[in-house]
Chains A and B, each alone.
Chain A
Amino acid sequence: MEFLLSALRWIADPANWDPSATTPLPIQARLLEHLRYTAVSMVIAAAIALPLGCWIGHTGRARQLVIGFTGAMRALPTLGLLFFLLMVFGYWLSYDTAPIVGATIAFVVLAVPSILAGAYAGIESVDRTTVDAARATGMTEWQVLWRVEVPLGLPLVLGGLRSATLQVVSTVTIASYAGLGGLGRIITSGIGLNDYDLILGGALLVTALALLLDGLFALAQRLTRTPGVTDRRPAAARRPRRSPRPHASKSA
């Protein structure tokens, strides 16, 4: 308990947020780096996995192949992959660029399977009758995807992005092994210095960041909740202002 309080005091100490503090401080600099690595990896992973997942979900093609492949990707230990990529890129690239390229690829590999699974499961979850009807009324395949499948499958698509973000934001901690920044720097230097405030403080910061991002995704999922789909109460139960329960009309 004393450890924890001490670590919290360390986080709260303004001196550790002072821009002129020595490395691995100040905290906000590491925090921003951490967020930047996470964001860049997620954007790249989403750019790969979302279109691919939509294509698989929409056409039903290559499903087994991609599922098997991404399953294997999931089994890769990110730390091992990171060291392997550092070796490979250390040979090809300059000393400055190899770590960031290697680390980003490792995080992308980590994020892709979750996003992909969410995307194709989301698209596939849309009732086939609805899709058939949309096509029969004269929607092009793009319109079927964008106007029917994506809006209706969005909760699962966002769910995939959410879990991938959670995995990446916690795993970005190991970027410090590649000589990069991020909150992992605070932890590794804490290990080196045998300073438990740094170790636990860094870990708490990573946890807080992960919870914050997860909360933001939860909020996004709430906001993008598809009207008419989530609320399946019968028509009689939802006439506004007639419900005996005051909170019931909020969701209408």
Chain B
Amino acid sequence: MIEFESVSKRFDDGTMAVEDFSLVLPSRQTTVFVGSSGCGKTTLLRMVNRMVEPTSGRVLIDGEDVAGRDKVQLRRSIGYVLQAAGLLPHRKVVDNVATVPVLTGTAKAKAREAAYELLDTVGLDRALGKRYPAQLSGGQQQRVGVARALASDPNILLMDEPFGAVDPLVRADLQVELRRLQQDLGKTVVFVTHDIDEAFLLADQVVILKKGGVVAQAGSPAEILAAPADDFVASFVGADRGKRTLHLRDGDGGGKGRTIVVDGDGRPIGVLADGPADGAR
């Protein structure tokens, strides 16, 4: 469990990135911070592994203030995935994945063996392990970034717009993959994005942020869609544009066709199935 206790951050140039932010992020769930640029979402994320120190307030992991933990040890115990993957260009993929275990003193051969297994986990061919990051595609690099973050088997995974720089098709792939991983591994994931669709797809808890780290609304995707707290939220999630206002319409074919679902503009989205949804959410 991660807790933010009235956290504020003022940068050296005087900008107030986050002001009096409080929130509880439950364990083994995915919390997504979503908001436009400048809303302080990345700042909040980086406070968890002390890449940013709050000006006031506390960040607690399982009840323990991170300010009291050794920075390096703390960071090694938390997985971190960045937008640009941030792989070390002069190290082979497998050595990139093995970075943290090697730092914490695992024998190199053993760390590599584990790294190859992690490549399987994130759906990468083991043969890619011997390549350098520049020889991989953007999507592959991101998978390596995720594998590296998982290498120390952390309880917490911080993801800073990890799929922001890859093309939409690959992004959809990675999102599905992350959901599968999360179901298998059950990490506490903190995910930052400006893409509300991505947030709804991945989150157990969505936190919509306004400028200065002000929480516009926090809740499950269903709660937010069912009852947007204000116009800002409604507009942010697209509820006001009809994109998410869906209607049912009988299909053509003289009553024999299936019922189709259309959006606010009348464009078909899908068909209505019988019975409840299979998924857990």
Contacts and interface: CB of A to CB of B under 8 A. Distances in A.
A130 B88 contact: yes
Nearest to A238: B135
B76 interface: yes
Given A228-B135, A235-B135, A143 B89 contact: no
Q: What are the nearest 10 A-B pairs in CB distance?
A: A133-B86, A228-B132, A138-B76, A138-B75, A235-B135, A226-B90, A136-B80, A129-B84, A229-B89, A140-B72
Contacts of B136: 235
Interface string B65-105: 00000001111110010101111111110000001100100
29 contacts: A129-B84, A129-B86, A130-B86, A130-B87, A130-B88, A132-B86, A133-B82, A134-B88, A136-B49, A136-B51, A136-B86, A137-B76, A137-B149, A138-B73, A138-B74, A143-B103, A147-B88, A152-B89, A226-B90, A227-B90, A228-B89, A228-B90, A228-B134, A228-B135, A229-B90, A232-B134, A234-B135, A235-B131, A235-B136
B105 to A, nearest CB: 12
A137 B134 contact: no
Interface string A151-172: 1100000000000000000000
B133 interface: yes
B134 A138 contact: no
A137 B89 contact: no
A117 to B, nearest CB: 23
Contact of A138 (B90, B91, B103, B133): B103
A231 B134 CA distance: 8
B92 A228 contact: yes
Given A129-B86, A228-B90, A229-B90, A137 B80 contact: yes
A139 B134 contact: no
B101 to A, nearest CB: 11
B: interface residue count bin: 20 to 34
B90 A151 contact: yes
A148 interface: yes
B137 interface: yes
A37 B272 CA distance: 87
A9 interface: no
A235 B51 CA distance: 33
Interface of A: 127, 129-130, 132-140, 143, 147-148, 151-152, 226-229, 231-232, 234-235, 238
Given A139-B72, A235-B136, A132 B82 contact: yes
Nearest to B50: A136
Given A129-B84, A137-B148, A228-B89, 14 more contacts: A130-B86, A130-B88, A132-B51, A134-B88, A136-B46, A136-B51, A137-B103, A139-B99, A228-B92, A229-B90, A229-B132, A231-B134, A235-B137, A238-B135
A147 B98 CA distance: 14
A135 B135 contact: no
Contacts of B89: 127, 130, 152, 226, 228-229
Q: Most B CB atoms within 10 A — which of A135, A136, A148, A227?
A: A136
Interface string B219-253: 00000000000000000000000000000000000
A132 B86 CA distance: 8
Nearest to B149: A137
Contacts of B133: 228
Contact of B103 (A132, A136, A139): A139
B132 A136 contact: no
A124 B134 CA distance: 20
A22 B197 CA distance: 88
A129 B90 contact: no
Contacts of A238: 135
Most buried by B among A130, A134, A140, A147: A130
Given A129-B82, A235-B135, A138 B100 contact: yes
Contacts of A135: 51, 75
